[in-house]
Structure 1
């Protein structure tokens, strides 16, 4: 898979064929097909691998603290760093309609699962109603994802994007905390 990643990143998606992989690895195209499946299967596997790596590293960073605000900051910073490192390949892969379609349900399930503890904290311990918690989480997630896309595409300097994104996210967390405290009063 590393060879496939290198080809996609250096020469583009069109340059990646099973025939080329077979030739560069030194095996038959049938062997590549048997071990990796179709080209779409290979691209989906590559995307899954990138997504899993990003999430694993994010969870590892977040587990360093029990403080809610620090966990949010660590998660945001970690995600942006992963987007800078892994985002270019993932952006390319997720632009392939077959890959996007194949991963759609998995990504929805993963996002729902990742948001569940946040929503529980905001609604049960945070004193926020479900709709407000869901809207706030969706908005802050969108900011983070957009910033990750900007970083992955190298459309702005990383430190600038990180500072702006983190400022917005932490302001959103402060707003959530304020709203929750008002609701509990």
Structure 2
């Protein structure tokens, strides 16, 4: 089996990965995140992919995915003769023996968001202020204003982060499924399961009028993109007119959102939410294809 090697740093632990393993990694996470897991830079991991002829997402891919616009995943081609099929990877730098005294901007932002989430979950939105968060994590009030201009700005960032994680889970659940009906089922299940985890926090955050207003445009864009993709997929696969699939999709989404709200408020549990929503969605899609499809179910 042909292999390639990246330069190893002194004392660094080398790992060997196949082309398939690297391919799965770069299509599951943004390049920078995937590279960080391996102790590499994003540019370094991209060079490895180029050398092993591994396709990877282009610039802007993940922004579209996180906005709800599902994007095609390029298949992994067979390795041409003479091309390495695995690579030995070592981090570019050995871990420092000296403790770090300062956090990077990204690390500080994560710290602020995590502490704000803790406060909101345990004490409610009203207890969260920039002064409180700064005190809790041991920085000055002036420093936290370098990251967020107001408490509302921080609440919007928290909400956007939670919604992004929900959307990532929804898309990950269906990424390798090619059947549109099954993909719809998997994404709905993923949504409900994410609501069980994040719904209570999101209910509090979206209960703030300023947060809803700030995110309204993004929400409308995501909803429009999802409806467009749904219409194209059902038309291409089953011959269902987009106006029909859009209408049925809107009804199905309304059912899912209603169940999600009840779940987030503790009125029903996850098992009941799934039993209520999934049969209705499955039946509505099947009926739509039977009555309006021209290509038949695959």
Shorter-normalised TM range: over 0.9
2:231–2:246 Cα contact (<8 Å) kept: yes
Q: Deviations over 1:115-151 (max 9, x none)?
A: 2111112334433333322211110111111111111
**Which TM-score applies when normalising by structure 1?**
0.93
Q: Return the match for 1:36 from 148, 151, 154.
A: 148
Q: What do you get for the CA RMSD once the two structures are aligned?
A: 1.5
Structure 2 gap ranges (5+): 1-112
CA distance in 1, matches of 2:279, 2:141: 50
**Which TM-score applies when normalising by structure 2?**
0.59
CA distance in 1, matches of 2:287, 2:269: 27
Q: How does 1:11-160 map to 2 (within 5 A)?
A: 11-160=123-272
Answer 1 or 2: higher relative contact order, Cα 8 Å, separation at least 6.
1
Q: Deviations over 1:94-115 (max 9, x none)?
A: 1111110010001110111122
Q: What number of residue pairs does the alignment pair up?
A: 184
Q: Deviations over 1:57-108 (max 9, x none)?
A: 1100011311222211111111000011011111111111111001000111
CA distance in 2, matches of 1:36, 1:180: 50
Structure 1 gap ranges (5+): none
Instruction: Write 1 or 2 for the structure with the bigger share of helix.
Output: 1
CA distance in 2, matches of 1:80, 1:89: 14
The answer to which of 103-112 and 61-70 deviates more is 61-70
